[in-house]
Chain A
Amino acid sequence: MQGGLRNLEANHAVSDFDRTHRFSLNFVYEIPSFGSASKFLSGWQISGFFQAQTGTPYSIFSPEPEIGSATQYADLTRGSGGLYRLGFGRPGLCGSLAELRQQGSDITEDSFNSAVLCSPLGQNGSLGRNILRAPSQSRFDLGIVKSTKLTEKVSVEFGWDIFNVFNRTNFAAPDFELGSPDFGRITTTVGGPRVMQFKARLKF
């Protein structure tokens, strides 16, 4: 619970798990051997798993919003509730949402324009909940498998799995905690870099 107690609209927003768009696809394709009985040509299989989606929403807040002394009154990270605070404090928005969503040239440094945030001056901050979104994500995983029959019952399978084939960097949400040294910066990624693994499997 954040914001004014009597203001139901203060927390009205999309859910934490909301993703506006999501596309996912997986496939398995057995490469035809065109009638060849060759052990080298038959038994090839390619499979993949692709996902692309928008990021999840996040809110900007401060976990320690109490005003300790008069000098902290105009501090950006203070206010928003004081004694009557239930939960975390939110700053005020002194500008438009479009201005807030303006990103810097390097989104890992400036994922949003923090210059339009201002101190709530001891009141409930006017910034809405979940109004910003983490960057979109996509990843393509690919697997190539060659299975060879050794006998009627026993077959051996060699596989090569590549995760994140295009080595796309998927950024996580930036640090949204007011007063944190990394506030507004993206310091983590999700989904990992390109990773490959080889596998061998004996089926009997």
Chain B
Amino acid sequence: MYRNTPNRCCARSLRPVFILLCDNHRLVGVLALILFLGISFTLPETALGQSGVTGTLTGVVQDQNGASLPGVTVTVKNLETGAVRTVATNGEGSWTIAALAVGTYEVAFEITGFRRLVRKRVQVEASVPRTLEDKLELGDVDAVVNIVEGASLVTPETATTFRQLSADDLVTVPTSTRSFTQLLSTEAGVNTELSPVLTNSNGNQSPSVNGTRTTSTSLFFNGIDATNITTNEGSLNDNIAPAPETLQEVKLQTSLYDASTGRSGGGNFQLVTTPVVSNSMRLIPGRSRWTPAPRIPAALLVPESRMSPIPAL
């Protein structure tokens, strides 16, 4: 039935090949479908495409008197992507959610008989377990207690010595070669030569961390070991030097780091790039949400009246 439909613009012999191209209505419909699927798949979904670097949130929930509260539902929501993970506190009132993508989170605690507690803007950083200690108040579960400040600066779960720079620090403070290595050399125990100016090299500095050789430093790029990317040693002089605008977070761990992040005795640089959405929009640190995906312009959509009816088979 489909094949036998007379078609004005195609010669009969060419019809099998050109049937799609000749039928204007159908062609536009197919193109619109492709466009729609393409846009709807690329826009929000690429926003979800997080880098492979993860951190951990952990904590203890107690009641007002300091007794541990088992069975509290802890909901962790990524403010950038909307991804939600839930866990219940154990018999000691403690909870852990590992492998959370780096970013800003909202953490909610809920159990019957207590007021709901919401922690807004909790930062999850690469390879740093953050501890939240919360006390729930007796009351109606619908009454919400909001805590705006994030997790405590002290991280009792890890002994790692590190310094972390945000995207803002990297862009704001003048560094003569625009390399992430320069500002991190202000960390205690790190020393390096004065940074060069007017250089044609990548401008990275390979610091000596706690007296180790300058080649003992390792580099992780979005969770991937990028230490030996061009040379067979840990020197950063010949390694990647991404522009500061492309980095979301930069960290240098100098001592007592976790075995999973340490490679050699020196320091560990960790770079996390800014996730990028199509349309070259990006998440601006400090803003809680992605800019909403633009609507498909009406001109690109085919009015329903002009669409061909789906042929019966």
Chain A positions near chain B (C-beta within 8 angstroms): 15, 17-19, 22, 24-28, 45, 47-49, 51, 53, 137, 139, 141-143, 145, 161-164, 170, 190-193, 195
- A163 to B175: give the CA distance in the assembly, Å: 8
> How far in angstroms is the closest Cβ of chain A from B180?
13
Q: Is the CB of A161 within 8 A of B191?
A: no
Q: Is the CB of B174 within 8 A of A161?
A: yes
B172 contacts which of A45, A163, A190 (Cβ < 8 Å)? A45
Q: Is the CB of B194 within 8 A of A143?
A: no
With A143-B172, A145-B172, A163-B174 as contacts: A19 and B191 at CB distance below 8 Å: yes
> How far in angstroms is the closest Cβ of chain A from B48?
23
Q: Is the CB of B213 within 8 A of A17?
A: yes
Q: Is the CB of B174 within 8 A of A141?
A: yes
> How far in angstroms is the closest Cβ of chain B from A192?
3
Q: Is the CB of A47 within 8 A of B172?
A: yes
Residue of B nearest to A21 (CB): B191
For residue B169, CB closer than 8 A to chain A, the reply is yes
With A45-B172, A143-B172 as contacts: A163 and B197 at CB distance below 8 Å: yes
- A158 to B185: give the CA distance in the assembly, Å: 27
> How far in angstroms is the closest Cβ of chain A from B179?
12
| Interfacial chain A residues near B175, Cβ < 8 Å | 49, 141
For residue B196, CB closer than 8 A to chain A, the reply is yes
- A184 to B187: give the CA distance in the assembly, Å: 33
- A53 to B186: give the CA distance in the assembly, Å: 11
Query: Looking at chain B, what size class is its interface with the partner chain?
Result: 20 to 34
| Interfacial chain B residues near A161, Cβ < 8 Å | 174
9 A-B residue pairs with CB within 8 Å: A17-B213, A19-B191, A48-B173, A49-B175, A49-B186, A51-B185, A145-B172, A190-B193, A191-B195
For residue B176, CB closer than 8 A to chain A, the reply is yes
Interface SS of A by simple majority:
strand
Q: Which of B193, B195, B198 has the most CB of A within 10 A?
A: B193
Residue of A nearest to B206 (CB): A17
Q: Is the CB of B194 within 8 A of A195?
A: no
Q: Is the CB of B194 within 8 A of A51?
A: yes
Q: Which of B195-241 contact A (CB under 8 A)?
A: 195-198, 208, 211-214
B173 contacts which of A47, A51, A137 (Cβ < 8 Å)? A47
For residue B151, CB closer than 8 A to chain A, the reply is no
Q: Is the CB of A17 within 8 A of B208?
A: yes
For residue B293, CB closer than 8 A to chain A, the reply is no
- A45 to B168: give the CA distance in the assembly, Å: 12
With A19-B191, A22-B191, A26-B186 as contacts: A142 and B174 at CB distance below 8 Å: yes
- A120 to B214: give the CA distance in the assembly, Å: 33
Q: Is the CB of A192 within 8 A of B198?
A: yes
Q: Is the CB of A190 within 8 A of B183?
A: no
| Interfacial chain A residues near B186, Cβ < 8 Å | 24-26, 49, 51
With A17-B213, A137-B194 as contacts: A24 and B174 at CB distance below 8 Å: no
- A53 to B73: give the CA distance in the assembly, Å: 52
Q: Is the CB of A191 within 8 A of B174?
A: no
Known pairs A28-B172, A163-B197, A195-B198; list 17 more (Cβ under 8 Å).
A15-B208, A17-B208, A18-B211, A45-B172, A48-B174, A49-B183, A51-B186, A53-B191, A137-B193, A141-B175, A141-B176, A143-B172, A143-B173, A145-B172, A170-B194, A191-B193, A192-B196
Q: 1/0 contact trace for B146-184 toward A, CB 8 Å?
A: 000000000000000000000001001111100000110
Q: Is the CB of A191 within 8 A of B172?
A: no
- A162 to B195: give the CA distance in the assembly, Å: 13
Q: Which of B174, B175, B183, B191 has the most CB of A within 10 A?
A: B174
| Interfacial chain B residues near A48, Cβ < 8 Å | 173-174
